[in-house]
Amino acid sequence: MFNDKSILITGGTGSFGRACARHILSHYQPARLIIFSRDELKQHEMQELKEFRAPCMRFFLGDVRDERRLVQAFRDVDTVIHAAALKQVPAAEYNPHEFIKTNINGAMNVVSAALECRVSRVVAVSTDKAVNPVNLYGATKLCSDKVFVASNSYAGRTSTRFAVVRYGNVIGSRGSVIPKLLRQRAHGKLTITDPRMTRFLIDLRAGVEFVLDCVGKMRGGEIFVPKLPSCRIGDLVDAMSAGCTVETIGRRPGEKMHETLIAADDAGNTRELDDRFVIAPTHPHWRYDADAIGGRRCPDGFTYTSDTNPDQLSPERIREICRDVAREMGLDDNF
**3-state DSSP assignment of residue 212:** helix
Distance between CA 110 and CA 248 in Å, rounded? 41
**3-state DSSP assignment of residue 200:** strand
Distance between CA 278 and CA 230 in Å, rounded? 19
**3-state DSSP assignment of residue 206:** helix
**How many other C-beta atoms can be found within 10 angstroms of the C-beta atom of residue 333?**
16
Distance between CA 213 and CA 266 in Å, rounded? 23
- Report the C-alpha dihedral over residues 172, 176, 177, 178, rounded to 10 degrees: 10
User: Which strands form 57-61's sheet, in the order they lie side by side?
Assistant: 57-61, 32-37, 6-10, 79-82, 121-127, 161-167, 223-226, 276-279, 270-272, 296-297
- Report the C-alpha dihedral over residues 73, 87, 281, 157, rounded to 10 degrees: -10
Residues sharing a CB contact under 8 Å with residue 222, sequence separation 6 or more, in sequence order:
163, 164, 214, 278, 279, 280, 281, 293
Distance between CA 296 and CA 157 in Å, rounded? 30
What is the full DSSP assignment across 116-181? HHT-SEEEEEEEGGGSS--SHHHHHHHHHHHHHHHGGGG-TTS--EEEEEEE-EETT-TT-HHHHH
Distance between CA 120 and CA 6 in Å, rounded? 10
Amino acid identity at 94: Y
Which residue numbers are catalytic?
129
